[in-house]
Structure 1
Amino acid sequence: MDVINKYGTPLKLSYLPKISSQIQKAKQWFGEAITNNNYSGTYTYCYCTKSSHFSFVLNEALKNDIHIETSSAYDIPIVRILFENNKITKATNVICNGYKRPEYTDYICDLINEGFNCTPILDNLDEITAYEKGIETSCNLGIRLATDEEPKFEFYTSRLGFRYNDVVQFYKEKIEPNPKFKLKMLHFFINTGIKDTTYYWSELSRFVHMYCTMKKINPDMDSIDIGGGWPIKTSVHFEYDYKYMADQIVKTIKKVCDEEGVPTPNIFTEFGSFTVGESGAAVYSVLGSKLQNDKEEWYMIDSSFITTLPDVWGLSQKYLLLAVNGWDKPYKKVKLGGITCDSMDYYNSEAHQNLVFMPELDEKEPTYIGFFHTGAYQESLGGYGGIQHCLVPAPKHILIDKDADGNFSYNLFAPEQTKESMLKILGYKA
C-alpha cells in the first residue's frame, strides 16, 4: 500500500532481493546434491537473459557469481556493456543458444576473437560454417540435441537442435579434423521444464547416454547444459520439491555415466523464470463492477491483461492472484476484465480452481488487486514502451530493494507511457 499510495496504479513491481535469493537456493540445492552423491563434476548457474533483459535484473543476478546464456544477436551488445561496467569478466561463461542469423554469429566470432569465454551451441548442421570463417583463434563448441516433445504436443520432436543420429558423424567430419574447435558441451532442453515425470527422466537418461557416447570418442567433452528450468509458484497451492529434483538430476547423470564407465560431466543449468519470475508483480485498481446477467459480475481493472500480462491472454497462464486490501470485507465470486475492446481481455480462474474471489467493492475505499510472480517474459512478449492494444499505455514500473538493515527503498524505473511517445511511433509527431 505504501507503493500504491505513492505511485498510484496500474503499476509493475520488481523486488530485487528475490532474484539473489532464488540463485542462492539453487546453488545450495545442487551443491548438496553433488556432495551427497559423491559427484565429481562441478555445478555452474547460468541465467538465460531472454526471461528478462532489463539492466536491474542482470545487475542483481550477477552479484551472485553466475554466468549467462544468450539467444539473440542483440544479447551480445548487452554482454559488452556488462563487461565495460565490470559486471562480468572475459572469464564469465557466455553460452550462446538459438537458431542464429548472420549478425548473431558475427558477434559471437568477435567475442571469441577478443578472448571472451564464449561457447556457441550449434543448433543446426550449417552453423559451424560461420565459425570456420569468422573465428581466428580456437574455441569451444556445444551441440544442442533435439528432444522428443511431450506426447500431447503438436509435434513429435523439437524443431531446435541436432537429431541424435547426426551428432557422431558431424563431430567426426566437422569438428575432430579442425584444430580450431573443441566440442566441450552437449545441451539438453525440455520445453515444459524440469518435472518429476516419466517423460522427463526418460529424456534426460537418453541425453546422458548420448553424452557418454560422445565422451568415448571425444576426450574434450566434459560438460552438459540442462535447459528448460524449474517452475515457479503460480498458485497458493503450488508444491514442488526443488531439493529432491536437484538430487535426482545429479543421481540420474551419475548412474548413467557409471553404467557406461564414463567420468561424470560438469553440470550447467539455465534458469530464467526461476531466477526472475518470482520477483515481479502487477497491481491494478478496480474501476467498477458490471453485472452482465443474473450472476456474472465483472470487476473492471484500470489496465489490460493483454498488454501487461500477455501470458494470461496468449497461454492461459495463471498467476498468484490476491487482493491487496479489503481482506476484512465479504468476498464474492467475480470475473476480472481489462479495459480494451477485446473479448479475450479477461482473467476468470485461479490455477487450482475455476473461480476468482475478490472483496466486495466499497465506495469509500478503492479496491486493489495484485498478480504476483509475473517477473519473467511479460515485457518481452507484450512489448515495452511500444504500441499496445487499444493504445492502453504501459504502466509505471517500480523497483523495490532492501538494504542490510532491512530498510526498503522504492525507485521509479519508468513512468507510465505517454501519449506523446505513442503518437511519435504512429507517425503523428516527429
Structure 2
Amino acid sequence: MEKIKIEKATTKPTESLKKLDIFKAWTIEDSENLYRINEWGNPYFSINAAGHIMVSPQGERGSALDLYHLIEGLRQRNIGLPLLIRFSDILADRLERLQACFNRSIARYNYANVYRGVYPIKCNQHRHIIEAIVNSGKPYKLGLEAGSKPELMIALATLDPQENTQNDPALLICNGYKDREYLETALLGKRLGHYPIIVIEQLKELYLTLKISRNLNIKPILGVRVKLCTKGSGRWGNSTGDRAKFGLTIPEILTVIKHLQALEMLDCLQLLHFHIGSQIASIGVIKNAMREASQIYVQLAQAGANMKYLDVGGGLAVDYDGSKTNFYASKNYNMQNYANDIVAAIQEACDGANIAVPTLITESGRAMAAHHSILVFDVLSTHDVSTTPPPAMEEKENLIIRNLWETYESISLKNYQETYHDALQFKEEAISLFNFGYLTLQERARAEQLYWACCGKIMSLICHQDYVPDDLEDLEKILASIYYVNLSVFQSAPDSWAIDQLFPIMPIHRLEEEPKQRGILADLTCDSDGKIDQFIDREDVKSVLELHSLNIKEIPELQPQAPELSSCLSIAEPYYLGMFLIGAYQEIMGNFHNLFGDINVVHISMNPKGYQIEHIVKGDTIKQVLGYVQYDGDDLLEAIRRQTEQGLQDNKITLEESQQLLKDYEDSLTHYTYLVADEIF
C-alpha cells in the first residue's frame, strides 16, 4: 500500500502541534511520539526519565547506556565533535537476528538446506567494522562479498580459511568488474582454503576466467548474475531490466551454459545471483523477483548445471522513518517476512521441478550495518527570524508603513489568509519604493520588521488549525530558525545531499522539555547545498525539525575596552543532536568539500561493568587534509615564515605579531578540521 500523503509537512502544522494541549506539561512520551524513536529506533534506542537518549546495543536482551553521558565523557577525553560512535554489539545483534529469521523460515517450511549471510564490503569498508562483522559472524559461517580488487584484498586477508570445512565454508562472493589480476588472485585464494565464487557479470569475464584457471590448473567455482525483468523500487529501481548496469541477459546465460558444456565444465556453474536494488521498500517487489529468479534457478539445474547456491543480493530495507510503509525511506515488511518469502518461493519452485533446494545467500549490507553508527554533533549558534514588531508607529510614517501597521493590528482567525497577502504585497511595494529612492534604509527596516511580525502573528494562529490554506503552506518553513551545526553534510551524510536520503535526526538530551523552535540545519561548508531541510514525519517529509532554544547564560564582561559592544557576553550550554541509522555507505562516500576531513570515530562495546572504548580513530588534521590535495604542511609554514620576515623588514608587522601568527599557523596544521566550540558569542 502506498504511503498516503495526508498533508505536506513542509507547510502544514505537524501532528505534535495540532494535538498539543497547551495546558499539559511536556513529557518524554511526547518526545517519543514527536521524533518517532520507538518506530525507527526499536529495540536499540529509547529515551530515559532524564530526557536523554539511551542506547541498548544488544536490544532488549542487554544493558543500556546514556548517550549524553557518553558524549560528555568522550569530550573530557579531548575527543571533539562531530563524532561518529559505532556499537559493535549492534552489528552482532543484527547478524544474529537475520540468521534467526532465516532459521525459523527454514524450520517452518521444512527447507532441506541452510542460509548463509554474506556482508558486502562496499557497504562500509572500515577495518574495525569488517573485523567485528567477521568475528561476530563466525558461528553462522558469515562470508564476504567483494566488488573490486581492493575489496578482494580485504576479504582474503580477513576471512580465515582454516575455519572452513569442505561442506560448509564461509563464502567469498566475487562480484563487480574483473581483470586478470583480480581473477588470478581470487583463484589462487582457493589454494589457501578460501571458497571464492566468481560471479560472471560479462561474457568476456567467463572466457578470461577459464583461460586463467587452465593456466593455474585450478578449477573455478562460477556463478552468473542475471538481469531480471522484475523492476525494483525507489532510488535504485533501475538495478534490473535489460539495460541494467550489471549482469547477463537470458540469452547470454544460455551462451555461458553452451560454452561450459563444450568444455565439459558445466559442473563449475554453481550459483545464480541477482540484485534488484538497495532499500527495497515493498515486499511485493521481492516476491516478484523471487518468483522469476526461482524459475531461472530451476531451469539452470535442469540444463545440467551443478547448482548449489541462490544469492538474492541486497535490498533488505531499513525503516528510516518508522512508518512501516512502502515509502522510499521505509519498508512495508519485517525481517521475518523477508526470510519467509525467499524460502517459500524457492522451495515451491524446486519442489515442483523435483530438484534439491539451494543454500540461500543474502547480501543485506544496509540491514546489517545501518543501525550501529550514530553521528553526534553540536549546535554552534542559531539565526532566528524576529517576529517582534518595531517601536510604535509615529505620526508621520510613510503610507506603506502605516498600511503594514494596520495589517498587523487587524490579523485575526477570520482574515489571516487575506492579511497575509496584504502584508506580502506591502513588503514588495516597500522594497520597490526603496529601490527608487523613496524610502530610507531605516524605513525599509521598519517595513521588513512589520512584515515578519505579521507572519509570526499569522503562524501563531494557524499552527492550531486542522486545515491550512495552500497559499500559507510554506509559512512554517519561511519562519524556521537556522541552526548552524558543527558538521559537513558532504563528508558525514552525503546521501542526504546527493539523493535526499532521510535519516532520523533528533536532540540526544533535553527531551523532557518541549522543543518550541522549528529549524533547519546548516553545516559548516560554504555551499548553499550544505544544509538539511528534510526530516522524517509520520505521513510524509517535513521541512523543519522541532528543536530547543539554546540555553544562554550571561557571563561577566570580558572586553571592558569595548563597552559599546555589550555590557556582558553570553555563553551557550552545549546542545547535541544525533543522526541515526547512518552505518551504511555514508562514511566511505563522504567527500572533502571545503577540506573538512574525516571525523573522530569511537568504537564502543558493552561489558558487565557498563561499556568500554574498543578503538578511537582520530579524525583528519588540517595538515593531513592538505596533503590529500598535494600541499606539504612544512612548505606552507615556510612560505608564511618568509612572508613574516618580509613584513618585519617593511615594518608591516611587529616581531610579537609575527611570532603569534607563526605559532597559530603551525598549531592549526595539527588541529581537527572542524570547529572547537567557542561558546562565547
1:321 aligned residue (494, 497, 505): 505
Alignment of structure 1 residues 9-88 onto 2, 5 Å: 9-63=81-135, 64-65=137-138, 66-83=142-159
Task: Out of 406-415 and 266-275, give the one that drifted further.
Answer: 406-415
Distance 1:196 1:256 in 2: 22
Distance 1:180 1:266 in 2: 19
Are residues 1:227 and 2:313 paired?
yes
Q: Shift of residue 324 of structure 1?
A: 1.0
Task: Out of 362-371 and 189-198, give the one that drifted further.
Answer: 189-198
Does the CA-based 8 Å contact 1:290-1:298 persist in structure 2? yes
TM-superposition CA deviations, 1:342-397 (whole Å, max 9, x none)? 111111222333131112221242111000111111122115xxxx1011232111
Which protein is richer in strand relative to its size?
1
Distance 1:284 1:313 in 2: 17
Corresponding residue for residue 442 of structure 2:
none
Distance 1:84 1:243 in 2: 30
**Residues 206 and 180 (structure 1), Cα distance of their counterparts in 2 relative to 1, 3 Å cut:** closer
Corresponding residue for residue 400 of structure 1:
604
**Residues 367 and 190 (structure 1), Cα distance of their counterparts in 2 relative to 1, 3 Å cut:** same
**Residues 137 and 245 (structure 1), Cα distance of their counterparts in 2 relative to 1, 3 Å cut:** same
TM-score (norm 1): 0.92
- The residue identity in structure 2 corresponding to 1:401 is S
- The residue identity in structure 2 corresponding to 1:4 is I
- The residue identity in structure 1 corresponding to 2:491 is T
Q: SS of the counterpart of 1:126?
A: helix
Distance 2:222 2:238 in 1: 31
Distance 1:111 1:213 in 2: 30
Corresponding residue for residue 2 of structure 1:
69
Corresponding residue for residue 140 of structure 1:
221
**Residues 287 and 141 (structure 1), Cα distance of their counterparts in 2 relative to 1, 3 Å cut:** same
TM-superposition CA deviations, 1:96-154 (whole Å, max 9, x none)? 11122343223223223444211110001110122222222212100000123347756
- The residue identity in structure 2 corresponding to 1:125 is L
Distance 2:86 2:163 in 1: 20
**Residues 176 and 357 (structure 1), Cα distance of their counterparts in 2 relative to 1, 3 Å cut:** farther
**Residues 181 and 40 (structure 1), Cα distance of their counterparts in 2 relative to 1, 3 Å cut:** closer
**Residues 304 and 247 (structure 1), Cα distance of their counterparts in 2 relative to 1, 3 Å cut:** same
Distance 1:61 1:372 in 2: 19
Distance 2:252 2:100 in 1: 37
**Residues 117 and 85 (structure 1), Cα distance of their counterparts in 2 relative to 1, 3 Å cut:** closer
- The residue identity in structure 2 corresponding to 1:199 is V
Corresponding residue for residue 441 of structure 2:
none
TM-superposition CA deviations, 1:293-329 (whole Å, max 9, x none)? 8413110101111111101111111112120122233
Alignment of structure 1 residues 349-364 onto 2, 5 Å: 349-352=534-537, 353-354=541-542, 355-364=544-553
Corresponding residue for residue 258 of structure 2:
172
Are residues 1:333 and 2:518 paired?
yes
Alignment of structure 1 residues 258-273 onto 2, 5 Å: 258-273=351-366
Q: Shift of residue 292 of structure 1?
A: 5.8
**Residues 101 and 342 (structure 1), Cα distance of their counterparts in 2 relative to 1, 3 Å cut:** farther
Are residues 1:299 and 2:392 paired?
no
Distance 1:122 1:413 in 2: 39
Q: Shift of residue 416 of structure 1?
A: 2.5
Q: SS of the counterpart of 1:224?
A: strand
Task: Out of 112-121 and 369-378, give the one that drifted further.
Answer: 112-121
- The residue identity in structure 2 corresponding to 1:22 is R
Q: SS of the counterpart of 2:149?
A: coil
TM-score (norm 2): 0.59
Q: Shift of residue 161 of structure 1?
A: 0.4
Are residues 1:244 and 2:337 paired?
yes
Which protein is richer in helix relative to its size?
2
Q: Shift of residue 266 of structure 1?
A: 1.5
| Identity percentage of aligned residues | 21
Q: Shift of residue 177 of structure 1?
A: 2.1
- The residue identity in structure 2 corresponding to 1:210 is I
Q: Shift of residue 252 of structure 1?
A: 1.3
Does the CA-based 8 Å contact 2:144-2:171 persist in structure 1? yes
Distance 2:524 2:178 in 1: 38
Distance 2:162 2:81 in 1: 36
**Residues 224 and 393 (structure 1), Cα distance of their counterparts in 2 relative to 1, 3 Å cut:** same
**Residues 85 and 335 (structure 1), Cα distance of their counterparts in 2 relative to 1, 3 Å cut:** farther
Q: Shift of residue 41 of structure 1?
A: 2.0
Task: Out of 60-69 and 237-246, give the one that drifted further.
Answer: 237-246
Corresponding residue for residue 377 of structure 2:
284
**Residues 348 and 87 (structure 1), Cα distance of their counterparts in 2 relative to 1, 3 Å cut:** farther
TM-superposition CA deviations, 1:151-179 (whole Å, max 9, x none)? 77568542210002321232122356244
Q: SS of the counterpart of 2:603?
A: strand
Does the CA-based 8 Å contact 1:141-1:182 persist in structure 2? yes
Q: SS of the counterpart of 1:268?
A: strand
Does the CA-based 8 Å contact 2:380-2:486 persist in structure 1? yes
- The residue identity in structure 2 corresponding to 1:230 is L
Structure 1, unmatched stretches of 5+, are none
2:170 aligned residue (85, 88, 92): 92
Q: SS of the counterpart of 1:262?
A: coil
Instruction: Please give the root-mean-square deviation of Cα atoms over the aligned residues, in Å.
Output: 2.4
Distance 2:524 2:198 in 1: 44
**Residues 85 and 55 (structure 1), Cα distance of their counterparts in 2 relative to 1, 3 Å cut:** farther
Does the CA-based 8 Å contact 1:175-1:182 persist in structure 2? no
- The residue identity in structure 2 corresponding to 1:402 is M
